[in-house]
Amino acid sequence: MKLSNMRILSYFIILIIVWGCKSSPKEEVANAPWGQMEQIISSIRPPVFSDRVYNVTDFGAVGNGVADCLPAITAAVKKCNTEGGGTVEVPPGQYACNGPIHLKSNVNLHVSEGATILFSTTPEHYLPVVFTRWEGAECMNYSPLIYAFEQENIAITGGGVLDGQANATNWWSWVDKEEYGWQEGMPSQKDSLSRPRLFDWNTREVPVEERILGKGAYLRPNFIQPYRCQNVLIDSVTILNSPMWVIHPVLSENVTIRNVKVISHGPNSDGCDPESCRNVLIKNCYFDTGDDCIALKSGRNQDGRRIGRPIENVVVQGCLMKDGHGGVVIGSEVSGGARNIFAEDCQMDSPNLDRAIRVKTNKVRGGTIKNLYFRNIRVGEVGEAVVRVNMRYPIYSDTSQAFIPVVRNIFVENVQSSKSKYGLLIDGYSQEHPVKSVHITNCRFDGVEKGNSIEFAEGLKLEDFYLNGAMVSNPVIDQ
């Protein structure tokens, strides 16, 4: 039986209404990445621990700031692990620790409010060497101050303090800079970098077990390093005075870092450097650092390419960045690539913070950096640029190899800044290898001294972008 004309008309009207209620393709494309962010967040679940509690004082720890509590902490961690897991409790007090804490699976190291762990600054206390990374190159070096290797369900929690006690009289003087205590004739990390040591081993792909450093190499350890770990939580602790990078998860998955306060003004004191990790949430943290606040990495040169693990599915939310070289940074050790990076609702404000959003790489690093999303960021003042993309970052290590990187799909939305030297500072590699598809939407950069500087960029799109109160629509790009 045929439908009446009236019924056919009714069907058409219903179809039109349904079609009109759908988002336009443009809206779907625009909203899809942030929907992906929500999916990433929902997939990251902090580890859960048994109710068992192992108080370190029951194992002999004395919180007088003098007695070495490492044996007690080590014994508590071991017993907690062998009995199925739980919490290793550090109660209020000052706990000297003459060496590294090595975490085991299913252990939550809980540093209570009022408790401080004071880590030794004697290098020999961090031997024997362990499998680690130093600026993106794999090696056998001093143990990080808190270290876990191939463990799962681990945590560092509590309202207490972790103090590396690094300063210009110990670890920091290994950098060949007088401002950090080094003087002519003193050993420095250059003894292991500029000579045919670590970076040369990396270039020649020397087996990692033969890259033995440690004593006499002068390469400072990182503070916290979960290496090849699953289900990691770092929550609510304050971390002070690191020898080098502060929080450095490597090749780990399902990592949550939240409510953490980092204050460390030494050389290379990056606040949080997830490297070759997947599914990482960094939320409500405070960074006051001597280098990048958050830097996302994936291995240096040959090691990054050999292992081939990008840094991916990272969400940064609600963080406050004070001093540092960059607020949210991708690179420079990013040879394994970076993708699906999201940052929102952050605040950055200091004349000592050089850049708010930064990508840094070069022809030696290589790798593909793509799908970077930033929104709702407030910048008071930065020293150089609000948004800095550099494919010609200086090359400090030796190699004639060329692996020109790919940088594309950067989206910056609703970012406001009050003072900077540049608004956008973009340096593609060349006309043949430009930065591709940078989108700046609904942004206002005021107090910009020198305007924008853009070289070798393709597909740059500006919408509702105001520089010193004037709308910018068609930038002149040097080719």
Name the CA dihedral angle for 204, 210, 215, 216, rounded to a multiple of 10 degrees: -40
Gap between the Cα atoms of 430 and 57, Å rounded: 61
Q: Give the tokens for residue 321.
A: 């960045």
Residue at 322: amino acid letter: K
Cis peptide before 100 (omega within 30 of 0): no
* 459 to 131, 455, 456, 474, 475: CA distances (angstroms): 42, 12, 10, 11, 11
- Give phi and psi for 60, each to the nearest 5: 110, 0
For residue 4, the 8-state DSSP code is P
Please report which residue ranges of 338-477 form alpha helices under DSSP H. none
Taking the chain, what is the end-to-end CA distance rounded to the nearest angstrom? Answer: 68
- Give phi and psi for 190, each to the nearest 5: -60, -25
Gap between the Cα atoms of 45 and 52, Å rounded: 21
* HSE-CB of 42 using CA atoms within 13 angstroms: 6
Sequence-distant (6+) residues with CB within 8 A of 7 are none
For residue 443, the 8-state DSSP code is E
3-state helix, strand, coil in the chain (%, to 5): 20, 40, 40
> So which residues are the catalytic ones?
291, 325
